[in-house]
């Protein structure tokens, strides 16, 4: 790697690697997909200039902050290659093509990729998962509790993941939820959401009462018509295992979708 490129990557990481900042990469329109940008949750005027271009035009990719100081991006739009942003060398490959899949970091070095559909072969891979780590062979991961595309995954703590909603092939949107325990590799059913939804966003956080909760937001109820829940939220109180509708709506009419990859340091 040249000294100039090393300095560029160092400057970029100095800009993005703060807890309050999010890197947005890939997505649609495809002609803009190679560009990346940084959002600072406290400073709307922040700019990280000269971010490296991603080597592929990809939508619906997934990624993570790798090893605390690099950004790993995999798949999307029929791609199976994985790259580290700023390094145009393939780091590893997915086992199979996945569109509308969902990825989540298991730790600083491993990315779990779940569900999706292989458009080229017109087949669903929706019940399968794989675990990606740069420089190592990709391995099969746990089987999902039900075949799904465009669901949402969030990490509650270091040992527990939470899956919500998504679309089941030939059935439609789901309101089912599951907890996944990494230490025992088991799925346990959670409480059903109030609404069926897929292509939504989700996150785990502590509310103003210091209670750990999960929020789901936006998405579709059915991908084939105009029914949607795009302007709504639901909150799961983990202390009572019960859902309530959020007390606010989005001020925009735009559909909240996961057409881009979000990295959270």
- The residue whose two tokens read 């491993």 is 110
Across 207-214, average pLDDT: 90
238 and 156 Cβ atoms separated by less than 8 Å: yes
Higher pLDDT, 63 or 159: 159
Note the pLDDT tens digit of each residue in 145-186: 998 989 999 999 999 999 999 998 878 899 999 999 999 999
Across 18-31, average pLDDT: 74
Across 244-258, average pLDDT: 54
- Whether 5 has a pLDDT exceeding 60, the answer reads no
Is the alpha carbon torsion for 247, 252, 257, 261 positive or negative? negative
- Whether 246 has a pLDDT exceeding 60, the answer reads yes
pLDDT of residue 67: 84
Mean pLDDT of the chain: 81
Across 61-84, average pLDDT: 85
Report the alpha-carbon angle 23-26-31, nearest 5: 135
Bond into 130 cis (ω within 30): no
Higher pLDDT, 223 or 82: 82
Alpha carbon distances (Å) from 245 to 73, 181, 216, 254? 33, 26, 10, 19
3-state class of 58 per DSSP?
Answer: coil
User: What percentage of the chain carries pLDDT values higher than 90?
Assistant: 40
Across 139-148, average pLDDT: 93
Note the pLDDT tens digit of each residue in 81-96: 999 888 888 999 999 8
Give the domain ranges of the chain.
Answer: 154-257
The number of beta carbons lying within 10 Å of the beta carbon of residue 177 is 24
pTM exceeds 0.75: yes
C-alpha 27/C-alpha 29 separation (Å) is 6
Give residue 2's pLDDT band: very low, low, confident or very high (50, 70, 90): low
Kindly give the residue spans of alpha helices, DSSP state H, lying in the chain.
Answer: 3-16
- Whether 264 has a pLDDT exceeding 60, the answer reads no
88 and 82 Cβ atoms separated by less than 8 Å: no
| CA-atom Rg of the chain in angstroms | 18
Give residue 244's pLDDT band: very low, low, confident or very high (50, 70, 90): very high
Give residue 132's pLDDT band: very low, low, confident or very high (50, 70, 90): very high
- The residue whose two tokens read 């030939």 is 170
């Amino acid at each position: 790697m040249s000294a100039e490129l090393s300095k560029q990557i160092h400057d970029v990481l100095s800009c993005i690697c703060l807890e309050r900042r999010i890197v947005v990469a890939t997505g649609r329109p495809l002609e803009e997909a190679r560009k990346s940008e940084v959002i600072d949750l406290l400073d709307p005027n922040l700019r990280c200039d000269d971010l490296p271009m991603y080597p592929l035009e990809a939508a619906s990719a997934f990624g993570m902050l790798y090893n605390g100081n690099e950004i790993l991006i995999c798949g999307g739009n029929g791609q199976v290659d994985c790259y580290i942003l700023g390094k145009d060398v393939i780091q590893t490959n997915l086992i199979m093509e996945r569109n509308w899949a969902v990825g989540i970091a298991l730790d600083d070095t491993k990315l779990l990729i779940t569900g999706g559909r292989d458009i080229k072969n017109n087949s669903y891979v929706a019940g399968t998962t794989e675990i990606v780590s740069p420089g190592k062979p990709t391995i099969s991961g746990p089987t999902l509790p039900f075949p799904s595309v465009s669901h949402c995954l969030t990490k509650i703590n270091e040992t527990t993941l939470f899956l919500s909603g998504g679309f089941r092939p030939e059935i439609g949107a789901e309101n089912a939820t599951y907890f996944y325990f990494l230490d025992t590799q088991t799925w346990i059913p959670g409480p059903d959401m109030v609404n069926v939804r897929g292509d939504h966003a989700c996150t785990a956080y502590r509310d103003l009462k210091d209670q750990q909760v999960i929020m789901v937001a936006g998405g579709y109820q059915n991908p084939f018509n105009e029914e949607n829940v795009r302007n709504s939220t639901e909150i799961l109180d983990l202390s009572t295992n019960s859902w309530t509708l959020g007390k606010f709506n989005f001020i925009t009419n735009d559909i909240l979708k996961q057409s881009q990859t979000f990295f959270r340091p």
